[in-house]
Amino acid sequence: MTKSELIEKVVQTHGMLNMKVSEMLVNTVFDSIEEALREGDKVEIRGFGSFTIRERTGREARNPKSGEIVSIPAKKTPFFKTGKELKERVNC
């Protein structure tokens, strides 16, 4: 499901919301999650899962084409852990 499909689903499910309001709602949720992760906070949605940031250390790697050693800098990566209820719903 894409973001636009999600917005359409919100419109279909809740007849009182039009496309523009639904888009604003979905964007607000995603923007809030992004902002919290950027600030280093954990985002937990009960029954769904949690979003955290994992810090990956810098390392040395080898370019497979040339064999040259390349330095890969440290970086932060978003990580999603599935909640127990979502796992149970998917595996029923």
Question: How many Cα atoms occupy the beta-carbon half-sphere of 85 within 13 Å?
Answer: 6
- The pLDDT profile of the chain, 92 residues, written as one tens digit per residue, is 999 999 999 999 988 889 999 999 999 999 999 999 999 999 999 999 999 999 999 999 999 999 999 999 999 999 999 999 999 999 98
* Residue 62, pLDDT score: 95
Q: Is the pTM of this model over 0.75?
A: yes
The pair of structure tokens assigned to 58 is 């810098």
Residue 48, classed as helix, strand or coil, is coil
Helix axes 3-13, 19-38, angle to 10 degrees: 130
Q: How far apart are CA 38 and CA 92, in angstroms?
A: 35
Q: Which of 23, 70, 40 is nearest to 10 (CA)?
A: 23
